[in-house]
Structure 1
Amino acid sequence: MMAGYQVHNRQGRYVGAASAFGMILLSIFHMGFYAASASEPTYSFMRNATEAPAVSYYDYIIVGGGTAGCPLAATLSQNYSVLLLERGGSPYGNPNITNLAAFGAAMSDLSLSSPSQRFISEDGVINSRARVLGGASCLNAGFYTRASPEYVRDAGWDGNLVNESYQWGERKVAFEPTVRQWQAAVRDGLMEVGVQPYNGFTYDHIYGTKIGGTIFDEAGNRHTAADLLQYANPTGITVLLYASVHKILFGTRGTSRPVVHGVTFRDSRGIKHRAYVRPGGASEVIVSAGAIGSPQLLMLSGVGPADQLRAHNISVVLDQPLVGQGMSDNPMNAIFVPSPSPVEISLIQVVGITQFGSYIEAASGENFAGGSSARDYGMFSPKIGQLSTVPPKQRTPEVLAKAVEAMSALDAAAFRGGFILEKIMGPLSTGHLELRTRDVDDNPSITFNYFKDPEDLRRCVQGISTIERVIESRSFVNFTYDYFSMQQLLNMTVNSPINLLPKHRNSSTSLEQYCRDSVMTIWHYHGGCQVGKVVDRDYKVLGVDALRVIDGSTFNSSPGTNPQATVMMLGRYMGVQILNERLAREGSD
C-alpha cells in the first residue's frame, strides 16, 4: 500500500562564492594534505572466511554483503542468527574507498584483490561491479535520493514502513552537501531553462531542480551500507569476508517442490565450507548478490533457463526461463564544459528531474576528467573505462591505454571545467544475462541493448538539448568561453583538451548519433530476477521454498535518479517485514 508515504521538502541554503581562505582550505583538502579523522566502526562479528567451520547452521544465510545485504542482515540479527557472506573484503582502512578525492581509484584497480570487478557488456560499454562489504555504495559517486511516491505505490510497498526504513539508513549514511560555484551554476541554469520548481535540499524525488543528499560527510569521508551493520546485534550475526558462494543447496520436504537447505562457499584458500539453515520451516537463504551476481548464482545452482543450464552441464532444479531476463542499464551521456577559471571538485549534488524522462546532473574539478596526479581516477576517466571518443565496441584496451597516455601528457589547465550529464529514466530498453562458464568468479555475458527502445533515444536527445541550454544560460556565463559553440563541444576530437567526446568525420553530428556513440554507464544496472517474473511481491523465488532475492536485480526500473538509497531501504524494509511475519507466526503457535 502507498499509505503514509509523504513528500517532506527541506529548503536548501544558497552557498555563494567561497572566501579565498576557504578555497585554499578546500584545495589543500583535495590535494590530500588535510586528513580528517574518520570514525570507522569495528565489528567483533566480522572475520575472514578462513576462520569459518567446515559446517555451520543459522536461521538466515545472506549471500552478498552489499547495499541491500548489510541492512537486511543487521535487521534480521535483532531476533535470529544471521550469516552474511561477502566475496570481497572490508572497506575500512582503504583510502581509495573512503576518501572523496580518490573517487574512481578503486574502479581503476584491475587486480583480483580489487573492491571492483570490471566487466564489459556485449554492447561494448565498460562497467564495474562491486566486490567489497558495502557493495556499490563503496564505489559510487555518493548521490543519495529516494524513489518517487509513484515508484513506491507501483512496488506495492507499505508507505509508512518505507519512510521509516529510509530514515533508519539516513541516520548513519546520508548528509546535506555544501553547494559551491559550479553546482550552484548548474542549479540556477536548470531553473533558468525551465526545469522548475526549485525544491531546495531534499531526499525526495520531485519534478524540478533540487539538491540531493550525499553519503560523503563534510570532511569528504564516505559512509557506506557497511556502516549500517552498526545496527546489528553483535551476538546474532556473523560476517565472513572473502567468502565466495558457489552454489545454493536444494532438497525436498516430501514434495516435488524444491526447498533450499543451505549454501556452499569457498574461502580465500579455496577451502570449501557448508552453511545450512536451521530445520523447522521458517529459516531461509536470501540472495543479495546484485543485478549480476544474483541471477548468475541462481543459474549456477540450477534455477534458470533449462537449455542454457544443460549447455553448461548444470543439473536443472527448476526451469525458470526468466532468470537473467530484463537486464537494464540506464545510459549516461555527458558533455565536458571547459572553464576559463578553476572550479571546485564536486561529485553529484544537483539534479534536474524533467517531465520528459531525463535526469540532468553534474560533476566538476580536475580529478573528474582524468589525467595525471590527482586527476588519475576521475568520474569520466578512461582509467575506469569511461571513454567515449569512439563508439562503444571500439573501446579496446589498446585504445584506453592510448587515451590514458595522451591525457597524462596534458597540462593541468586543460582539465579546468566540469561535466553536465543526463541519465535516462527507466530505461525502457532491456537485455539479458547468460552464463559464460560455471565459475562464479567469472563475469557472465550481459547485454543491455542501449537505446533499443526509440523512447530512450528521444529522451537522450531532449536531455542533451537541455544541457545545451544550461551551458548557454546567463547563470553559466562565468564557466564558459565565448568562442566555444555547442557544436564545437559535441565534436571535440581526441586532440582536444579532454578526451571525452566522440570524433566524427564531419561537423554535422545528429544528437541521435551522438547519444549512441558517446553512451557510457552511470552504474545503475538492474534486473535479472524481477518481481512478478522470478520473485513474488515478498521477494520469494517462484517455484522454490526457503529462498528469496532482495536487491536491485528485482527492480523493473531504476528507482529515482540514483538507486542506492532505495536499495538500502529495501534491505531494511524486507528485514522488518520478515521479522514481523515470523514473530507473528511463532507467537500464534
Structure 2
Amino acid sequence: MVLGFWRFLGAAFAATLLLHGSCSSDEAIPTRTYSFMRNATLAPLVSYYDYIVIGGGTAGCPLAATLSQNASVLLLERGGSPYGNPNITDLEAFGAPLSDLSLSSPSQRFISEDGVINARARVLGGASCLNAGFYSRAAPEYVRDVGWNRKLVNESYAWVERLVAFEPKIQQWQSAVRDGLLEIGVVPNNGFTYDHISGTKVGGTIFDQLGRRHTAADLLEYANPKGVTVLLYASVHKILFKRKGTPRPVAHGVVFRDSTGAKHRAYLSQGPKNEIIVSAGALGSPQLLMLSGLGPKAHLQAHNISLVVDQPMVGQGMSDNPMNAVFVPSPIPVEVSLIQVVGITHFGSFIEAASGENFGGGSPTKDYGMFSPKIGQLATVPPKQRTPEALAKAIEDMNGLDKAAFQGGFILEKIMGPVSTGHLELRSRDPNDNPSVTFNYFQEPEDLRRCVEGISTIERVVDSKAFANFKYDAMSFESLLNLTVSSPVNLLPRHRNTTTSVEQFCRDSVMTIWHYHGGCQVGMVVDSEYRVLGVDALRVIDGSTFNHSPGTNPQATVMMLGRYMGVKILSERLTSEES
C-alpha cells in the first residue's frame, strides 16, 4: 500500500516544478481607465515632452507619475493594459499569463543560454503584473551601500505601500513553515513586516484581502492627468542623439512604432534638464542601449549598428538568483498560497514557500501552478534538457493525474546576490526579439555552498515538529530530493548508477524566481544618479542597474526607486529653474 502510494506520487510530481508572470490586452473588459492612457495608434507622428520614459513597468510607472507633477511626461509601454484581465488580477489564476505563448501575451518567454526557461513582461505595470506578489523592502545595509538617502527611501517606500501593499492572511500551511523555521533556529520571529530583517517574518503582498492583484500601474493614480501621456503597444526601436556642436552625444528623441507598424517620433522639448529615461527592465534596457549605438564596439558593428559610444560594459553583470524547490506532499489538505513567509538566514539563502493544488499544476480548471511545466518550470530534467518535447511530455503526464496528487506545497530556497554573473548580447536589431543572455548559475562556489545549506535548512523545516501534520511519516527527505534509488517523489534527475549529491541536485534542478538583474549597472554603465556614462540627457532607472537583487524579492525596491529618482530629478529641475 505504501509502495503504491509512493509510485503514485512519483508519477505525479514528474510533471511539476516552477516560474512567474505578466498582464493583459485591449480585448479585456477594463475595470480601470486613465484619461491619459491610449493606444499608440492614436499618437501624433511627432510630439514633444520634457521627459520621455521608455517602459511602463515596475519602475517606469511610479517614475512617470512623480515627474508628471511638475513636467510633461510621455510614458511608452510596449504591452497593453493590465486592467480587466482576471488572469492578471486574480490570485488563483497566477501562472496563466506565463503559460500564454502568443504574441499578444503580457508575458514573453525567453530561455537563457544556460537552458533555464524564464519570462519578461510586456504590459503596463511590468513584472508586478506577473509575479507571486511578495512585497519586502531592501535591507538597510543595501540602502547604505548603494548610497541612497535613507529618509527619502523610506518616504518613497511608504508612497508605494499606500496603494499596492497589504498584510497577507496566514493560514495553516504557511504557519507551519513559519513555525518550523523558528523551531530550527531561523530567529527571531519578526512577525509581519515589510522590512528586511534577519530571522523569520511574514512579508507583505500586492494581493489584497479579496485576492486581487495591485500593480505598479496603480501608482499612476498619483499622476497629474494633465502632465502625463501613456501610450500602449508602443515599441521603442531607437534613442536619437544629437552629435554635432556638442562636447558629447546628447539624447533628444526616440523612434517608436505602434501596433500597425506605423513609425512615430517623440522629442524632448527645449530645456536644460529635460531627459530620456530608460526603464525597460534588465533585458530591455541594455538591449535598447545597444540598438541605439551604446555598447561594445565590435558587437554593434557585427549587427551594422552605428556606434554612438563604445561602452563595453553594457550587457555585462547579468545575474539571475537561482531557486531550488522541494515538493512536500501532504496527508491533509492545504490552502492555496503564494509567497507569504520568509526565513532570512545568516548564510545567504532565503527560505520561502507556496502551497495549494493549483500551484502544483494539477487542478482541472486552474493548472498553471507556480511550479508547473506549463509556465516553463521543469526541474525534473537538467536545464539543457528542458526541450519543447520534454515540456510537452511533462504537461501530458500532469494532465493525466488526479488532482489529489497535487495536495501539498513547495518549500524553496533562493540564493542571495548572487555572486555568479553573465552577460547579454543582441540576436537581431528587432527590439521585440529576445536578446541572448547567459546567467552562469552556480559558476561561483559561494552560490553553490549557499544552495546546499539552503536545502539542508528546508530538510530541517520538513522534519520539524511544527510541520509534522503536513508530512507523511514514512517519507524521507532524501526521497523528496530523489537522492536515493527508491521512492523518487519529485523524480528529479539522477545520474546513472550513482547517488546524486546535493550539489548536483542544485545544478540539475535550478529554476528561476524571476529576479534577474544587471546589464546597466551603477559604476559600469551609469553613474550614482543613473545617468548613462559618455552621453547627456539619458538615464537608466530600473533593475538593470542593480549589482545584487535587493531584499528577498525586488519589486518593492524597484517601485521605490522609480518614486525616489522621480523626486530627486524634480528637485534638480526646481533648483535649476530657481537659479
For 1:355, the aligned partner's letter is: H
2:327–2:490 contact (8 Å) kept in structure 1: no
Aligned to 1:387: 378
User: Deviation digits for residues 475-530 of structure 1, max 9, x if unmatched?
Assistant: 11000001110111111899989766334435722110000000000000000000
CA 1:217–1:498 in structure 2 vs 1: closer, same or farther (change >3 Å)? farther
CA distance in 2, matches of 1:579, 1:470: 48
SS state at 1:474 partner: coil
For 1:119-518, what aligned pairs fall within 5 Å after superposition? 119-252=110-243, 254-491=245-482, 501-506=492-497, 508-518=499-509
Q: How big is each residue's C-alpha offset from its partner over 1:250-283, in whole Å with a ceiling of 9 and x where there is no partner?
A: 1136224000011000000000000000122211
Q: Per chain length, whose mean CA-contact separation is higher, i.e. which structure has more relative contact order (CA < 8 Å, sep 6+)? A: 2
Query: Contact 1:387/1:500 (CA < 8 Å) preserved in 2?
Result: no
Per-residue deviation, residues 379-403 of structure 1 (Å, max 9, x unmatched): 0000011101110000000100000
Q: 1:534-553, aligned counterparts within 5 Å?
A: 534-553=525-544
Please tell me the residue identity of whatever aligns with 2:526: V
C-alpha distance 308-530 of structure 1, shift in aligned 2 (>3 A): same
* Alpha-carbon distance change, 417 to 347 in structure 1, aligned in 2, over 3 angstroms: same
Aligned AA for 1:295? Answer: P
For the residue of structure 2 that corresponds to 1:352, the secondary structure is: strand
- Contact in 2 for aligned 1:306/1:316 (Cα 8 Å): yes
C-alpha distance in 1, partners of 2:47/2:546?
32
1:55-94 matched pairs, under 5 angstroms? 55-94=46-85
CA contact (8 A) 2:364 2:403 kept: no
CA gap of 1:372–1:201, structure 2 versus 1, over 3 A, is closer
Q: Is the 8 A contact 1:41 1:230 kept in 2?
A: no
In structure 1, distance between residues paired with 2:486 and 2:290: 46
Instruction: Give the Å deviation of 1:334.
Output: 0.2
Paired residue secondary structure (2:467): helix
**Secondary structure in 1 matching 2:473:** coil
Partner deviation per Cα, 1:440-464 (whole Å, 9 max, x = no partner): 0100000000000000000000000
User: What is the Cα deviation at residue 223 of structure 1?
Assistant: 0.1
Q: Aligned in 2, Cα 1:215/1:496: closer, same or farther, shift over 3 Å?
A: farther
Q: Could you say what secondary structure the match of 2:161 adopts? A: helix
Over 3 Å counting, the alpha-carbon distance change for 1:96 and 1:503 in structure 2 is farther
Q: Does 1:41 align with 2:32?
A: yes
Amino acid aligned to 1:385: G
CA 1:356–1:492 in 2, change beyond 3 Å: closer, same or farther?
A: closer
- Larger deviation, residues 217-226 vs 493-502: 493-502
Distance 1:486 1:504, change over 3 A: farther
In structure 2, list runs of 5 or more residues that go unmatched. Answer: 1-28
Distance 1:492 1:112 in 2: 40
Q: Do 2:318 and 2:518's aligned partners in 1 also have CA atoms closer than 8 Å?
A: yes
Letter in 2 for 1:552: G
Identity of aligned residues (%): 79
Secondary structure of 2:414's match?
Answer: strand
Change (3 A) 1:39 1:248: closer
Amino acid corresponding to residue 71 of structure 1 in structure 2? P
> Are 2:504 and 1:522 equivalent residues in the alignment?
no
CA positional deviation for 1:39:
10
The residue matched to 1:88 in structure 2 has which SS? Answer: coil
CA spacing shift, 1:269–1:495, aligned 2, 3 Å: farther
Length, aligned pairs only: 551
Q: TM-score, normalised by structure 2?
A: 0.93
Gaps of 5+ in 1: 1-37
- Give the residue type in structure 1 aligned to 2:349: S
Partner in structure 2 of residue 22 of structure 1 = none
